[in-house]
Structure 1
Amino acid sequence: MRVLIVEDDPRIAQAIAEALRDQHYVVEIAGDGRLGLDFAEAGAFEIIILDLTLPYLDGVSLCRQLRQQGMTTPILMLTARDASEHKVLGLDAGADDYVIKPFDLPELLARIRALLRRKTVAPTAILTWENLQLDPQYCQVTYHGIPLLLTPTEYRILELFLRQGSRVLSRSVILERVWEFEEMPGEETVKVHLRSLRQKLKQVGASPHFIENIYGLGYRLNPNL
Protein backbone atom coordinates (compact mmCIF):
# COMPACT_ATOMS: atom_id res chain seq x y z
CA MET A 1 0.00 0.00 0.00
CA ARG A 2 1.16 3.51 -0.78
CA VAL A 3 1.01 6.36 1.73
CA LEU A 4 1.63 10.06 1.12
CA ILE A 5 2.91 12.15 4.03
CA VAL A 6 2.63 15.91 3.58
CA GLU A 7 4.57 17.35 6.52
CA ASP A 8 7.12 20.20 6.64
CA ASP A 9 8.87 18.96 9.80
CA PRO A 10 11.39 16.38 8.53
CA ARG A 11 11.76 14.74 11.93
CA ILE A 12 8.06 14.04 12.20
CA ALA A 13 7.79 12.97 8.57
CA GLN A 14 10.71 10.54 8.84
CA ALA A 15 9.47 9.06 12.12
CA ILE A 16 6.05 8.33 10.59
CA ALA A 17 7.63 7.03 7.38
CA GLU A 18 9.94 4.61 9.21
CA ALA A 19 7.07 3.23 11.27
CA LEU A 20 4.99 2.69 8.13
CA ARG A 21 7.86 1.13 6.17
CA ASP A 22 8.33 -1.36 8.99
CA GLN A 23 4.78 -2.50 8.21
CA HIS A 24 5.48 -2.84 4.47
CA TYR A 25 3.91 0.41 3.33
CA VAL A 26 5.47 2.37 0.45
CA VAL A 27 5.85 5.96 1.61
CA GLU A 28 6.34 9.24 -0.23
CA ILE A 29 7.06 12.49 1.61
CA ALA A 30 6.20 16.02 0.50
CA GLY A 31 7.61 18.92 2.53
CA ASP A 32 5.11 21.60 1.48
CA GLY A 33 1.54 21.95 0.30
CA ARG A 34 2.22 22.55 -3.38
CA LEU A 35 4.47 19.51 -3.63
CA GLY A 36 1.89 17.52 -1.70
CA LEU A 37 -0.77 18.49 -4.22
CA ASP A 38 1.49 17.43 -7.09
CA PHE A 39 2.18 14.06 -5.45
CA ALA A 40 -1.48 13.45 -4.65
CA GLU A 41 -2.61 14.27 -8.19
CA ALA A 42 0.12 12.19 -9.83
CA GLY A 43 0.19 9.08 -7.64
CA ALA A 44 -2.26 6.42 -6.51
CA PHE A 45 -2.21 6.45 -2.71
CA GLU A 46 -4.32 4.46 -0.27
CA ILE A 47 -4.14 7.19 2.38
CA ILE A 48 -2.79 10.73 2.79
CA ILE A 49 -1.36 12.04 6.08
CA LEU A 50 -1.65 15.80 5.91
CA ASP A 51 -0.27 18.47 8.23
CA LEU A 52 -2.57 21.43 8.86
CA THR A 53 0.15 24.11 8.73
CA LEU A 54 2.26 23.90 5.57
CA PRO A 55 4.34 26.30 3.44
CA TYR A 56 2.90 27.59 0.14
CA LEU A 57 -0.45 25.77 0.52
CA ASP A 58 -1.97 25.00 3.91
CA GLY A 59 -3.45 21.60 4.73
CA VAL A 60 -7.08 22.74 4.76
CA SER A 61 -6.79 24.32 1.30
CA LEU A 62 -4.97 21.27 -0.04
CA CYS A 63 -7.59 18.92 1.38
CA ARG A 64 -10.39 21.03 -0.06
CA GLN A 65 -8.79 21.07 -3.53
CA LEU A 66 -8.41 17.28 -3.57
CA ARG A 67 -12.04 16.78 -2.57
CA GLN A 68 -13.22 19.27 -5.18
CA GLN A 69 -11.38 17.18 -7.77
CA GLY A 70 -13.38 14.16 -6.68
CA MET A 71 -10.55 12.37 -4.87
CA THR A 72 -11.91 9.95 -2.26
CA THR A 73 -8.58 8.84 -0.76
CA PRO A 74 -8.79 8.85 3.06
CA ILE A 75 -7.07 11.90 4.57
CA LEU A 76 -5.73 11.98 8.12
CA MET A 77 -5.03 15.52 9.30
CA LEU A 78 -2.18 16.34 11.68
CA THR A 79 -2.48 19.46 13.79
CA ALA A 80 -0.57 21.01 16.67
CA ARG A 81 -3.63 23.06 17.51
CA ASP A 82 -6.13 21.68 19.99
CA ALA A 83 -8.80 24.30 19.33
CA SER A 84 -12.08 22.79 18.16
CA GLU A 85 -12.45 25.31 15.33
CA HIS A 86 -9.28 23.98 13.66
CA LYS A 87 -10.59 20.41 13.86
CA VAL A 88 -13.88 21.55 12.36
CA LEU A 89 -12.06 23.35 9.53
CA GLY A 90 -10.16 20.20 8.61
CA LEU A 91 -13.19 17.94 8.78
CA ASP A 92 -15.35 20.39 6.82
CA ALA A 93 -12.65 20.54 4.14
CA GLY A 94 -12.99 16.78 3.68
CA ALA A 95 -10.53 15.20 6.12
CA ASP A 96 -11.65 11.82 7.47
CA ASP A 97 -9.90 12.02 10.83
CA TYR A 98 -7.35 14.09 12.73
CA VAL A 99 -4.54 13.54 15.24
CA ILE A 100 -3.19 16.25 17.53
CA LYS A 101 0.57 16.76 17.90
CA PRO A 102 2.44 15.55 19.81
CA PHE A 103 1.04 12.08 19.19
CA ASP A 104 2.03 8.50 19.95
CA LEU A 105 3.07 6.55 16.86
CA PRO A 106 1.04 3.46 17.86
CA GLU A 107 -2.10 5.63 18.05
CA LEU A 108 -1.35 7.20 14.67
CA LEU A 109 -0.83 3.76 13.09
CA ALA A 110 -4.09 2.56 14.65
CA ARG A 111 -5.94 5.55 13.17
CA ILE A 112 -4.41 4.79 9.75
CA ARG A 113 -5.51 1.15 9.94
CA ALA A 114 -9.00 2.24 10.96
CA LEU A 115 -9.30 4.55 7.96
CA LEU A 116 -8.07 1.84 5.60
CA ARG A 117 -10.57 -0.61 7.07
CA ARG A 118 -13.35 1.93 6.64
CA LYS A 119 -12.38 2.29 2.98
CA THR A 120 -12.90 -1.38 2.18
CA VAL A 121 -16.01 -3.54 2.30
CA ALA A 122 -14.23 -6.37 4.10
CA PRO A 123 -11.84 -4.62 6.49
CA THR A 124 -9.78 -7.59 7.61
CA ALA A 125 -10.28 -9.65 4.43
CA ILE A 126 -7.53 -12.16 3.73
CA LEU A 127 -6.36 -11.97 0.12
CA THR A 128 -6.42 -15.35 -1.63
CA TRP A 129 -5.47 -16.88 -4.94
CA GLU A 130 -5.63 -20.62 -5.46
CA ASN A 131 -4.13 -22.01 -2.20
CA LEU A 132 -2.24 -18.83 -1.34
CA GLN A 133 -3.39 -16.59 1.52
CA LEU A 134 -2.05 -13.16 2.46
CA ASP A 135 -3.23 -11.55 5.67
CA PRO A 136 -2.65 -7.77 5.39
CA GLN A 137 -3.44 -7.18 9.06
CA TYR A 138 -0.53 -9.34 10.27
CA CYS A 139 1.63 -9.27 7.09
CA GLN A 140 1.59 -13.08 6.92
CA VAL A 141 1.64 -15.20 3.76
CA THR A 142 0.94 -18.93 3.54
CA TYR A 143 0.51 -21.49 0.79
CA HIS A 144 -1.48 -24.57 1.79
CA GLY A 145 -0.85 -23.42 5.35
CA ILE A 146 2.93 -23.31 4.87
CA PRO A 147 4.41 -19.89 5.77
CA LEU A 148 6.34 -18.01 3.09
CA LEU A 149 9.32 -16.03 4.33
CA LEU A 150 9.35 -13.04 2.01
CA THR A 151 11.43 -9.89 1.92
CA PRO A 152 9.47 -6.63 2.35
CA THR A 153 9.75 -5.97 -1.40
CA GLU A 154 8.55 -9.47 -2.33
CA TYR A 155 5.64 -9.07 0.09
CA ARG A 156 4.60 -5.75 -1.48
CA ILE A 157 4.81 -7.22 -5.00
CA LEU A 158 2.68 -10.21 -4.04
CA GLU A 159 0.13 -8.02 -2.26
CA LEU A 160 -0.09 -5.80 -5.34
CA PHE A 161 -0.82 -8.80 -7.57
CA LEU A 162 -3.42 -10.15 -5.18
CA ARG A 163 -5.23 -6.82 -5.02
CA GLN A 164 -5.28 -6.59 -8.82
CA GLY A 165 -6.55 -10.11 -9.50
CA SER A 166 -5.82 -11.28 -13.03
CA ARG A 167 -5.05 -7.77 -14.31
CA VAL A 168 -1.77 -7.58 -16.22
CA LEU A 169 0.78 -5.27 -14.57
CA SER A 170 3.67 -3.83 -16.54
CA ARG A 171 7.12 -3.48 -15.00
CA SER A 172 6.70 0.29 -14.85
CA VAL A 173 3.42 -0.05 -12.93
CA ILE A 174 5.02 -2.49 -10.49
CA LEU A 175 7.92 -0.08 -9.96
CA GLU A 176 5.54 2.83 -9.36
CA ARG A 177 3.39 0.96 -6.84
CA VAL A 178 6.08 -0.97 -4.94
CA TRP A 179 9.12 1.32 -4.80
CA GLU A 180 9.36 4.83 -3.45
CA PHE A 181 10.15 7.56 -5.95
CA GLU A 182 13.56 8.46 -4.51
CA GLU A 183 14.82 4.86 -4.53
CA MET A 184 13.15 3.64 -7.72
CA PRO A 185 15.50 1.22 -9.54
CA GLY A 186 15.54 0.09 -13.16
CA GLU A 187 12.94 -2.27 -14.60
CA GLU A 188 15.40 -5.17 -14.55
CA THR A 189 15.05 -5.15 -10.75
CA VAL A 190 11.42 -6.24 -11.12
CA LYS A 191 12.54 -9.40 -12.95
CA VAL A 192 15.03 -10.19 -10.19
CA HIS A 193 12.44 -9.92 -7.42
CA LEU A 194 9.82 -11.84 -9.40
CA ARG A 195 12.32 -14.64 -10.02
CA SER A 196 13.00 -14.89 -6.28
CA LEU A 197 9.28 -14.72 -5.44
CA ARG A 198 8.45 -17.48 -7.93
CA GLN A 199 11.20 -19.66 -6.50
CA LYS A 200 9.86 -19.26 -2.96
CA LEU A 201 6.34 -20.08 -4.15
CA LYS A 202 7.62 -23.16 -5.95
CA GLN A 203 9.41 -24.35 -2.80
CA VAL A 204 6.10 -24.55 -0.90
CA GLY A 205 4.29 -26.36 -3.72
CA ALA A 206 2.89 -23.61 -5.93
CA SER A 207 3.02 -23.86 -9.70
CA PRO A 208 6.14 -22.34 -11.33
CA HIS A 209 3.62 -20.39 -13.42
CA PHE A 210 1.71 -18.99 -10.42
CA ILE A 211 2.83 -15.54 -11.61
CA GLU A 212 2.44 -15.55 -15.36
CA ASN A 213 4.54 -13.59 -17.85
CA ILE A 214 2.38 -12.06 -20.60
CA TYR A 215 4.90 -11.45 -23.36
CA GLY A 216 5.35 -7.78 -24.20
CA LEU A 217 2.78 -6.63 -21.64
CA GLY A 218 3.83 -7.60 -18.13
CA TYR A 219 2.81 -10.05 -15.41
CA ARG A 220 -0.31 -11.31 -13.68
CA LEU A 221 -1.54 -14.02 -11.36
CA ASN A 222 -2.30 -17.07 -13.50
CA PRO A 223 -6.10 -17.53 -13.68
CA ASN A 224 -5.76 -21.02 -15.17
CA LEU A 225 -4.13 -22.89 -12.30
Structure 2
Amino acid sequence: MINVLLVEDDIDLATTIVDYLEIESIQCDHASNGLMGLNLVENNFYQMIILDINMPKMDGLTLCNTLREKGMDIPILMLTARDSLENKLQGFEAGSDDYLVKPFAMKELVARVQVLAKRRSGAVKRLVLGDLRLDLTQHSAQLKDKNLKISPTGFKLLEELVRASPQVISRQHLMQTVWGDEQPDSNNLKVHIHHLRKMLDVDSSNIRLETVAGVGFVIKAENG
Protein backbone atom coordinates (compact mmCIF):
# COMPACT_ATOMS: atom_id res chain seq x y z
CA MET A 1 0.00 0.00 0.00
CA ILE A 2 1.20 3.51 -0.84
CA ASN A 3 1.59 5.88 2.13
CA VAL A 4 0.83 9.53 1.37
CA LEU A 5 0.63 12.75 3.37
CA LEU A 6 -1.94 15.39 2.38
CA VAL A 7 -1.31 18.93 3.71
CA GLU A 8 -4.49 20.91 2.98
CA ASP A 9 -6.43 23.43 5.08
CA ASP A 10 -9.72 22.97 3.19
CA ILE A 11 -11.29 20.25 5.36
CA ASP A 12 -14.05 19.36 2.88
CA LEU A 13 -11.57 18.91 0.04
CA ALA A 14 -9.16 17.03 2.30
CA THR A 15 -11.89 14.61 3.41
CA THR A 16 -12.86 13.96 -0.21
CA ILE A 17 -9.24 13.30 -1.23
CA VAL A 18 -8.51 11.01 1.74
CA ASP A 19 -11.69 8.97 1.13
CA TYR A 20 -11.03 8.65 -2.60
CA LEU A 21 -7.39 7.63 -2.16
CA GLU A 22 -8.33 4.95 0.36
CA ILE A 23 -10.73 3.45 -2.21
CA GLU A 24 -7.68 3.20 -4.48
CA SER A 25 -5.71 1.43 -1.69
CA ILE A 26 -3.64 4.52 -0.93
CA GLN A 27 -3.21 5.26 2.79
CA CYS A 28 -3.41 9.01 3.36
CA ASP A 29 -2.63 11.00 6.53
CA HIS A 30 -3.89 14.58 6.71
CA ALA A 31 -2.45 17.78 8.16
CA SER A 32 -4.46 21.02 8.12
CA ASN A 33 -1.46 23.38 8.12
CA GLY A 34 2.21 23.49 7.20
CA LEU A 35 3.63 23.14 10.72
CA MET A 36 1.51 20.06 11.40
CA GLY A 37 2.63 18.66 8.06
CA LEU A 38 6.30 19.23 8.90
CA ASN A 39 5.87 17.40 12.20
CA LEU A 40 4.23 14.41 10.52
CA VAL A 41 6.94 14.18 7.84
CA GLU A 42 9.69 14.22 10.47
CA ASN A 43 8.07 11.42 12.46
CA ASN A 44 6.58 9.13 9.81
CA PHE A 45 7.45 7.47 6.50
CA TYR A 46 5.65 8.71 3.39
CA GLN A 47 6.27 7.83 -0.24
CA MET A 48 5.01 11.20 -1.46
CA ILE A 49 3.34 14.43 -0.28
CA ILE A 50 0.32 16.28 -1.67
CA LEU A 51 0.83 19.88 -0.65
CA ASP A 52 -1.48 22.90 -0.88
CA ILE A 53 0.19 26.31 -1.32
CA ASN A 54 -2.14 28.65 0.57
CA MET A 55 -2.18 27.51 4.22
CA PRO A 56 -2.01 29.06 7.70
CA LYS A 57 1.05 28.91 10.01
CA MET A 58 3.36 27.75 7.21
CA ASP A 59 2.47 27.97 3.52
CA GLY A 60 3.15 25.19 1.06
CA LEU A 61 6.12 26.85 -0.65
CA THR A 62 7.85 27.38 2.70
CA LEU A 63 7.17 23.80 3.79
CA CYS A 64 8.45 22.41 0.49
CA ASN A 65 11.62 24.48 0.67
CA THR A 66 12.13 23.52 4.33
CA LEU A 67 11.91 19.80 3.52
CA ARG A 68 14.42 20.17 0.68
CA GLU A 69 16.85 22.12 2.86
CA LYS A 70 16.63 19.31 5.42
CA GLY A 71 17.69 16.87 2.71
CA MET A 72 14.35 15.07 2.42
CA ASP A 73 13.86 13.66 -1.09
CA ILE A 74 10.17 12.77 -0.75
CA PRO A 75 8.36 13.57 -4.04
CA ILE A 76 5.99 16.54 -3.64
CA LEU A 77 2.88 17.32 -5.68
CA MET A 78 1.74 20.95 -5.34
CA LEU A 79 -2.03 21.38 -5.16
CA THR A 80 -3.32 24.90 -5.70
CA ALA A 81 -5.86 27.19 -7.33
CA ARG A 82 -3.03 29.27 -8.76
CA ASP A 83 -2.50 28.48 -12.41
CA SER A 84 -0.16 31.20 -13.65
CA LEU A 85 3.28 30.33 -15.03
CA GLU A 86 4.92 32.42 -12.31
CA ASN A 87 3.23 30.44 -9.55
CA LYS A 88 4.22 27.16 -11.16
CA LEU A 89 7.82 28.29 -11.40
CA GLN A 90 7.75 29.32 -7.72
CA GLY A 91 6.60 25.81 -6.84
CA PHE A 92 9.35 24.12 -8.82
CA GLU A 93 11.94 26.54 -7.45
CA ALA A 94 10.88 25.58 -3.92
CA GLY A 95 11.51 21.93 -4.80
CA SER A 96 8.18 20.48 -5.92
CA ASP A 97 8.13 17.64 -8.45
CA ASP A 98 4.70 18.09 -9.98
CA TYR A 99 1.82 20.56 -10.08
CA LEU A 100 -1.96 20.07 -10.15
CA VAL A 101 -4.36 23.02 -10.45
CA LYS A 102 -7.74 23.06 -8.69
CA PRO A 103 -10.32 21.98 -9.63
CA PHE A 104 -8.97 18.61 -10.77
CA ALA A 105 -10.26 15.12 -11.52
CA MET A 106 -9.62 12.62 -8.72
CA LYS A 107 -8.51 10.03 -11.27
CA GLU A 108 -5.75 12.40 -12.40
CA LEU A 109 -4.64 12.95 -8.79
CA VAL A 110 -4.44 9.18 -8.24
CA ALA A 111 -2.40 8.75 -11.43
CA ARG A 112 0.07 11.46 -10.35
CA VAL A 113 0.34 9.95 -6.85
CA GLN A 114 1.06 6.48 -8.21
CA VAL A 115 3.84 7.78 -10.48
CA LEU A 116 5.52 10.02 -7.88
CA ALA A 117 5.36 7.42 -5.11
CA LYS A 118 7.66 5.13 -7.11
CA ARG A 119 10.60 7.53 -7.11
CA ARG A 120 12.61 9.91 -4.96
CA SER A 121 12.77 13.58 -5.71
CA GLY A 122 15.58 15.05 -7.77
CA ALA A 123 14.92 18.44 -6.20
CA VAL A 124 16.60 17.68 -2.89
CA LYS A 125 19.62 19.91 -2.24
CA ARG A 126 21.16 18.14 0.72
CA LEU A 127 21.32 14.64 2.21
CA VAL A 128 21.82 14.18 5.94
CA LEU A 129 22.67 10.94 7.73
CA GLY A 130 23.77 11.28 11.33
CA ASP A 131 27.03 13.26 11.41
CA LEU A 132 27.33 13.11 7.61
CA ARG A 133 26.06 15.85 5.28
CA LEU A 134 26.14 15.85 1.50
CA ASP A 135 25.61 19.05 -0.49
CA LEU A 136 24.26 17.85 -3.85
CA THR A 137 24.63 21.28 -5.44
CA GLN A 138 28.29 21.72 -4.55
CA HIS A 139 29.08 17.98 -4.63
CA SER A 140 30.76 18.31 -1.27
CA ALA A 141 30.62 16.20 1.89
CA GLN A 142 31.09 17.04 5.55
CA LEU A 143 31.58 14.73 8.52
CA LYS A 144 31.03 16.42 11.88
CA ASP A 145 31.29 19.78 10.08
CA LYS A 146 34.69 18.91 8.59
CA ASN A 147 35.04 18.86 4.80
CA LEU A 148 35.96 15.53 3.26
CA LYS A 149 38.45 15.38 0.40
CA ILE A 150 36.44 13.20 -1.93
CA SER A 151 36.66 12.46 -5.64
CA PRO A 152 33.64 12.84 -7.95
CA THR A 153 33.35 9.04 -8.18
CA GLY A 154 33.66 8.70 -4.41
CA PHE A 155 30.96 11.33 -3.95
CA LYS A 156 28.59 9.51 -6.30
CA LEU A 157 29.14 6.24 -4.45
CA LEU A 158 28.56 7.94 -1.10
CA GLU A 159 25.41 9.65 -2.40
CA GLU A 160 23.94 6.33 -3.54
CA LEU A 161 24.74 4.67 -0.23
CA VAL A 162 23.25 7.52 1.82
CA ARG A 163 20.09 7.69 -0.32
CA ALA A 164 19.51 3.98 0.25
CA SER A 165 20.39 3.93 3.97
CA PRO A 166 19.71 1.82 5.97
CA GLN A 167 19.14 -0.59 3.07
CA VAL A 168 21.98 -2.65 1.57
CA ILE A 169 23.07 -1.80 -2.00
CA SER A 170 24.45 -4.58 -4.16
CA ARG A 171 27.84 -4.31 -5.81
CA GLN A 172 26.15 -4.64 -9.21
CA HIS A 173 23.81 -1.72 -8.51
CA LEU A 174 26.65 0.55 -7.41
CA MET A 175 28.76 -0.35 -10.44
CA GLN A 176 25.86 0.30 -12.83
CA THR A 177 24.83 3.57 -11.16
CA VAL A 178 28.31 5.08 -10.99
CA TRP A 179 29.99 3.76 -14.14
CA GLY A 180 27.05 2.73 -16.33
CA ASP A 181 27.78 0.24 -19.11
CA GLU A 182 31.50 1.09 -19.22
CA GLN A 183 32.33 -0.57 -15.94
CA PRO A 184 35.93 -0.90 -14.74
CA ASP A 185 37.43 -3.89 -13.00
CA SER A 186 35.56 -4.80 -9.81
CA ASN A 187 38.70 -3.96 -7.83
CA ASN A 188 38.04 -0.31 -8.70
CA LEU A 189 34.88 -0.39 -6.58
CA LYS A 190 36.75 -2.06 -3.72
CA VAL A 191 39.39 0.67 -3.76
CA HIS A 192 36.80 3.45 -3.67
CA ILE A 193 34.89 1.77 -0.84
CA HIS A 194 38.15 1.36 1.06
CA HIS A 195 38.92 5.08 0.72
CA LEU A 196 35.39 6.03 1.78
CA ARG A 197 35.62 3.78 4.84
CA LYS A 198 38.94 5.37 5.86
CA MET A 199 37.47 8.89 5.55
CA LEU A 200 34.39 7.97 7.57
CA ASP A 201 36.26 6.00 10.23
CA VAL A 202 36.43 8.75 12.82
CA ASP A 203 36.17 7.69 16.47
CA SER A 204 33.68 10.39 17.43
CA SER A 205 31.48 9.87 14.34
CA ASN A 206 28.31 7.77 14.35
CA ILE A 207 28.66 6.82 10.66
CA ARG A 208 29.54 3.25 9.73
CA LEU A 209 30.16 1.89 6.22
CA GLU A 210 29.86 -1.89 6.31
CA THR A 211 30.33 -4.75 3.89
CA VAL A 212 27.53 -7.29 3.75
CA ALA A 213 29.15 -10.55 2.68
CA GLY A 214 27.89 -11.84 -0.65
CA VAL A 215 25.51 -8.90 -1.11
CA GLY A 216 27.07 -5.44 -1.12
CA PHE A 217 27.47 -2.43 1.13
CA VAL A 218 25.43 -0.40 3.61
CA ILE A 219 25.98 2.90 5.40
CA LYS A 220 24.31 3.57 8.75
CA ALA A 221 24.14 6.17 11.47
CA GLU A 222 24.41 4.41 14.82
CA ASN A 223 21.91 5.41 17.51
CA GLY A 224 20.05 7.53 15.01
Q: Give the TM-score taking structure 2 as reference length.
A: 0.52
Cα deviation, 1:52-81, whole Å, max 9, x if unaligned, reads 111010000000000000000110000101
SS of the counterpart of 1:3? Answer: strand
Give the strand-richer structure, 1 or 2. 2
- 1:72-91 aligned at under 5 Å gives the runs 72-91=73-92
Matched residues in 2 for 1:72 and 1:117: separation? 12
**Cα separation, 2, equivalents of 1:15 and 1:119:** 26
| Cα offsets for 1:142-196 (capped at 9, x unmatched) | xxxxxxxxxxxxxxxxxxxxxxxxx9xxxxxxxxxxxxxxxxxxxxxxxxxxxxx
How many angstroms apart in 2 are the aligned matches of 1:90 and 1:83? 11
Q: Which runs of 5+ in 2 are unaligned?
A: 122-166, 168-224
Distance across 1 between alignment mates of 2:110 and 2:59: 23
Contact 2:10 2:32 in 1 (8 A): yes
Aligned residue in 1 for 2:6: 5
**How do 1:161-180 residues align onto structure 2 when only pairs under 5 Å count?**
none
CA distance in 2, matches of 1:78, 1:93: 14
- The yes-or-no answer on 1:53 pairing with 2:50 is no
Distance 1:116 1:27 in 2: 12
SS of alignment partner, residue 118 of structure 2: helix
Deviation at residue 14 of structure 1 after TM alignment: 1.0
Counterpart Cα distance in 2 of 1:117 and 1:43: 17
Alignment correspondent of 1:99: 100
**Partner residue in 2 for 1:66:** 67
1:100-144 Cα shifts (integer Å, max 9, x gaps) = 001110111111112123449xxxxxxxxxxxxxxxxxxxxxxxx
> Secondary structure of the equivalent of 1:112?
helix
For residues 94 and 4 of structure 2, what CA distance do their matches in structure 1 show? 20
CA distance in 1, matches of 2:105, 2:27: 21
Written as runs of structure 1 = structure 2, the 5 A alignment for 1:113-152 is 113-119=114-120
* Aligned position for 2:27: 26
Amino acid at match of 2:107: P
TM-score, normalised to structure 1, is: 0.52
SS in 2 for 1:55: coil
Number of residue equivalences = 121
Report runs of 4+ in structure 1 exceeding 3 Å deviation.
117-120
1:22 Cα deviation after fit: 1.0
Alpha-carbon distance in 2 for matches of 1:119, 1:56: 27
Q: Give, as a single letter, the amino acid of the residue that structure 2 aligns with 1:60.
A: L
> d(CA) in 2 for partners of 1:88 and 1:37?
22
Give the letter aligned to residue 114 of structure 1.
Answer: V
Q: CA deviation at 1:92?
A: 0.7
Opposite residue 33 of structure 1, the aligned amino acid is: G
Question: What's 2:16 paired with?
Answer: 15
Q: In 1, distance between residues paired with 2:4 and 2:58?
A: 20
Paired with 1:89 and 1:37, the residues of 2 have a C-alpha distance of 20
Distance in 2 (alpha carbons) for counterparts of 1:116 and 1:6:
16
